[in-house]
Chains A and B, each alone.
Chain A
Amino acid sequence: MSKAKFKNPVVKWIDHRLPIFSFMDHELNHYPTPKNLNYFWNFGSLAGIALVTMIITGIVLSMNYTAHVDYAFDSVERIMRDVNHGWLIRYIHMNGASFFFIVVYIHIFRGLYYGSYKAPRELLWILGVLILLLMMATAFMGYVLPWGQMSFWGATVITNLFSAIPLVGESIVTWLWGGFSVDNSTLNRFFSLHFVLPFVIVGVVILHLVALHRFGSNNPIGIDVKGTQDTLPFNPYYTIKDLFGLGVFLTIFAAAVFFFPNFMGHPDNYIEANPMVTPAHIVPEWYFLPFYAILRAIPDKLGGVLFMFGSIAVLFVIPWLDRSSVRSSQFRPIFKIFFWILLADCVLLGYLGAMPAEGIYVILSRIATAYYFFHFLILFPLLPYIEKTKPLPISISEPVLSGSSPASAFAFREKK
């Protein structure tokens, strides 16, 4: 660790006893970062900022929210109408959830494209999947809190999934509900968990960062950093790049919050929950649609639940499913094609999740689900035996091998 020198005597005094300033200097200032990162590496810091935004707005909302079946809906409307700028806080929180998922999904697909999950970053990846799982649980419970029709019926459908577990399923559902239907006890515990889980996410994010800083970021050409000539100090190069990315992100986010705040929501959630009236189509929030499509693609209820959870579970083990030692898709011509097929497959699943489960949609859902698992379970392990990878550059800063220059599209090469 390079010894940081501080001029301020107070900082010096504290740092000698509690080296917090040295730590920050090391991890945020000098932290060596590959010099060739592209804009897809902005999404990690954006996800962190989205998380903090959600926590801050969420705490303010919780000060004005009433977790009771008779008052929850009206308390949200009171926030929208009578709390000073309550509409702003709530719309930021509501749209923030969607944007958090957009950012995290891009972050995940970036990891898949550039092989960021491979050794020595397996635990970094696993912690990331854990964050995704926690986010999904948190988002699901948060969506129940306004106690609209989709809140209630979404909660009913999803909690009922656990009844598919043999023998103990029904008991588990009763235990989850705290009663015999989605009711006040359910709302109360969901509020409690929705409040606490984000702080668990913060904890896992810290572990995610510790694991990241152990070996540093992966990079677009996916080869290890060979020395200081390949890296730049995080500050100012990546602090300013992250700030620019944040500006772009916030501009798009603000456009949604201020001009299309309900675009990603469902109109039915502005109808108060009514256990006696079932909505025509019960659909989850858009970020769950691919998983919802997988759930409905399987004709058997327990099978559907297993495949749905399996679609996340498989992500935990992909560092070992992918046998190729080459990280970046830049040097894996076949893998690269299949990456785009996987992305299209996930978007298709999202579309199918929003469609009624009938006719052609069911058949397409099954094909898309089959492809999803084929991609990870069969393609990943087998591809290295078939695929001829392109030659790797010697290092990030060295010119690439003669004859081809696959890295040139991404690497910031020395021009001279």
Chain B
Amino acid sequence: MNAKPYWFKIKRFIIQSCTILSLFFSSQICFAAGEKITFPKLDWSFSGITGTFDRASQQRGLQVYKEVCAGCHGMRLLAYRNLKAIGYNDDEIKAFASENSVNTLNDDGEVVEREARPSDKFVSPYPNEQAARVANGGAYPPDLSLIVKARSDGANYLHALLTGYVDAPDEQKIPDGMYYNKYYPGKLIGMPQPLYEDGVEYADGTKATADQMAKDVTAFLAWAAEPEMEDRKRLGISVILFLLVLTLLSYLAMKQIWAPIKNR
């Protein structure tokens, strides 16, 4: 048998590496799929390697957050100034921030309230976890800043959860202060159904169905969890194109340098 051609070695190397890598990754996937509940897979504008956020949907999502979620859920990692990234101007952000108040010290060292500024972080609805639990029958409404990244398949999960309130099967006992949600692990959730048709009135005239609101608020929260996503993907495409050219050139250089050795 003769020495196998060079391209064959490359092909085999790639196949072997891919096999090894995919074996590693498949264990990850299996473990991510530990939950038995499956939820609908939606076609998000921000999925895929070129996906971007839908500004209109994000802005509607902010409205849903403000009018529905913010009563119980904070977003402490977001600053009001960050809203510039979803298409608001300075005045709008200033006005939005000033609806909230934060504690500060005055010149005499006393704690006083002042209007929130764009540089402030989103003001949480409760001063601390204990207060939040007391106000919600013992359940703690989690902060939503990272919720899409903090759940497996976060965007689909969130949309499913928000639209997953159905009538409980007869054999299911619902304790006081709990609600039945077919997508929540364990099915019993402390959060009452938050989204009802026309629960908000969209400024842009979009029909506010529960499903639409769930999609919009998810789009907003997906951005909140990964505000760098659009920059990241854009930069990624340039970097990978650069690397492909570099790799190709180094491959050709390698072929040339090795040619006398291989063909001697």
With A77-B146, A241-B254, A258-B235 as contacts: A350 and B27 at CB distance below 8 Å: yes
Asked if B243 and A263 make an inter-chain contact with CB atoms under 8 angstroms apart, the answer reads no
Q: In the docked arrangement, what's the CA distance between A257 and B142, Å? A: 28
| Nearest CB of chain A from residue B213's CB, rounded to whole Å | 24
List CB contacts (< 8 Å) of A218-276 with chain B.
232, 236-237, 240-241, 243-244, 246-248, 250-251, 254-255, 257-259, 261-264, 267-268, 270-271
With A237-B258, A254-B239 as contacts: A74 and B77 at CB distance below 8 Å: yes
Asked if A270 and B150 make an inter-chain contact with CB atoms under 8 angstroms apart, the answer reads yes
Residues of A within 8 A of B28 (CB): 263-264, 286, 354
Interface of B is mostly: helix
Residues of B within 8 A of A264 (CB): 25, 28
Q: Does B196 contact A (CB under 8 A)?
A: no
- The chain B residue with its CB closest to the CB of A351 is B27
Segment of A53-61, A331-339, A407-415 in the binding face: A407-415
Residues of A within 8 A of B20 (CB): 106, 343
Residues of B within 8 A of A87 (CB): 228, 232
Point out the residue from A74, A80, A251 that lies within 8 Å of B228, measured CB to CB. Answer: A80
| Nearest CB of chain A from residue B222's CB, rounded to whole Å | 13
Q: Does B264 contact A (CB under 8 A)?
A: yes
Asked if A259 and B257 make an inter-chain contact with CB atoms under 8 angstroms apart, the answer reads no
| Nearest CB of chain A from residue B21's CB, rounded to whole Å | 7
Asked if A408 and B27 make an inter-chain contact with CB atoms under 8 angstroms apart, the answer reads no
Q: In the docked arrangement, what's the CA distance between A196 and B91, Å? A: 48
With A247-B250, A258-B233, A268-B150 as contacts: A237 and B257 at CB distance below 8 Å: yes
Residues of B within 8 A of A343 (CB): 20
- The chain B residue with its CB closest to the CB of A356 is B34
Q: In the docked arrangement, what's the CA distance between A416 and B82, Å? A: 68
Q: In the docked arrangement, what's the CA distance between A250 and B239, Å? A: 10
- The chain A residue with its CB closest to the CB of B238 is A258
Q: Does B244 contact A (CB under 8 A)?
A: yes
List CB contacts (< 8 Å) of A62-92 with chain B.
74, 77, 80-81, 87-88, 91
Q: Does B3 contact A (CB under 8 A)?
A: yes
Q: Does B1 contact A (CB under 8 A)?
A: yes
Residues of B within 8 A of A270 (CB): 146, 149-150, 225
Q: In the docked arrangement, what's the CA distance between A353 and B27, Å? A: 9
Asked if A267 and B150 make an inter-chain contact with CB atoms under 8 angstroms apart, the answer reads yes
Q: In the docked arrangement, what's the CA distance between A319 and B37, Å? A: 49
Q: Does A102 contact B (CB under 8 A)?
A: yes
Residues of A within 8 A of B152 (CB): 267
| Nearest CB of chain B from residue A228's CB, rounded to whole Å | 13
Q: Does A357 contact B (CB under 8 A)?
A: no
Point out the residue from B10, B34, B151, B261 that lies within 8 Å of A237, measured CB to CB. Answer: B261
Q: In the docked arrangement, what's the CA distance between A91 and B231, Å? A: 13
**Size of B's binding interface in residues, CB under 8 A:** 55
List CB contacts (< 8 Å) of A7-38 with chain B.
35, 38
Q: Does B4 contact A (CB under 8 A)?
A: yes
Q: In the docked arrangement, what's the CA distance between A152 and B59, Å? A: 36
List CB contacts (< 8 Å) of B246-264 with chain A.
246-247, 250-251, 253-254, 257-258, 261-264
Residues of B within 8 A of A416 (CB): 264
Residues of A within 8 A of B145 (CB): 77
| Nearest CB of chain B from residue A52's CB, rounded to whole Å | 17
Q: Does A385 contact B (CB under 8 A)?
A: no
Asked if B261 and A232 make an inter-chain contact with CB atoms under 8 angstroms apart, the answer reads yes
Q: Does B164 contact A (CB under 8 A)?
A: no
Q: Does A281 contact B (CB under 8 A)?
A: yes
Question: What string of 1s and 0s marks CB contacts (under 8 Å) between B169-202 and chain A?
Answer: 0000000000000000100000000000000000
Asked if B236 and A259 make an inter-chain contact with CB atoms under 8 angstroms apart, the answer reads yes
Residues of A within 8 A of B227 (CB): 81
Q: In the docked arrangement, what's the CA distance between A241 and B255, Å? A: 9
Interface centre among A77, A87, A259 (most CB of B within 10 A): A259
Q: In the docked arrangement, what's the CA distance between A39 and B109, Å? A: 68
Residues of A within 8 A of B246 (CB): 247
Q: In the docked arrangement, what's the CA distance between A237 and B264, Å? A: 15
Residues of B within 8 A of A267 (CB): 149-152, 154
Residues of A within 8 A of B151 (CB): 267
| Nearest CB of chain B from residue A358's CB, rounded to whole Å | 12
| Nearest CB of chain A from residue B62's CB, rounded to whole Å | 17
| Nearest CB of chain B from residue A61's CB, rounded to whole Å | 15
Q: In the docked arrangement, what's the CA distance between A281 and B33, Å? A: 12
Q: Does A108 contact B (CB under 8 A)?
A: no
With A39-B13, A286-B27, A347-B27 as contacts: A262 and B250 at CB distance below 8 Å: no
Q: In the docked arrangement, what's the CA distance between A258 and B231, Å? A: 9
Interface centre among B27, B232, B258, B263 (most CB of A within 10 A): B27
Q: In the docked arrangement, what's the CA distance between A246 and B232, Å? A: 22
Q: In the docked arrangement, what's the CA distance between A243 and B264, Å? A: 24
Q: Does B7 contact A (CB under 8 A)?
A: no
Residues of A within 8 A of B263 (CB): 415
Point out the residue from A246, A258, A289, A413 that lies within 8 Å of B236, measured CB to CB. Answer: A258
Residues of B within 8 A of A232 (CB): 261
Asked if A248 and B2 make an inter-chain contact with CB atoms under 8 angstroms apart, the answer reads no
Q: Does A355 contact B (CB under 8 A)?
A: yes
Interface centre among B1, B13, B28, B30 (most CB of A within 10 A): B28
- The chain A residue with its CB closest to the CB of B14 is A248
Q: In the docked arrangement, what's the CA distance between A261 and B232, Å? A: 10
Given contacts A241-B258, A263-B25, 9 further A-B contacts (CB under 8 A): A77-B146, A81-B77, A240-B253, A244-B250, A251-B243, A254-B240, A267-B150, A280-B34, A354-B30
Can you identify 27 A-B contacts, CB atoms within 8 angstroms?
A35-B261, A38-B13, A80-B228, A81-B77, A81-B227, A81-B228, A88-B232, A106-B20, A236-B257, A240-B258, A241-B254, A244-B247, A247-B251, A250-B243, A255-B240, A258-B232, A258-B240, A259-B49, A264-B25, A267-B154, A271-B146, A286-B27, A347-B27, A351-B26, A351-B30, A411-B3, A415-B3
Closest 9 CB pairs of A and B: A258-B236, A247-B247, A354-B31, A270-B150, A87-B228, A351-B27, A244-B250, A251-B243, A270-B146
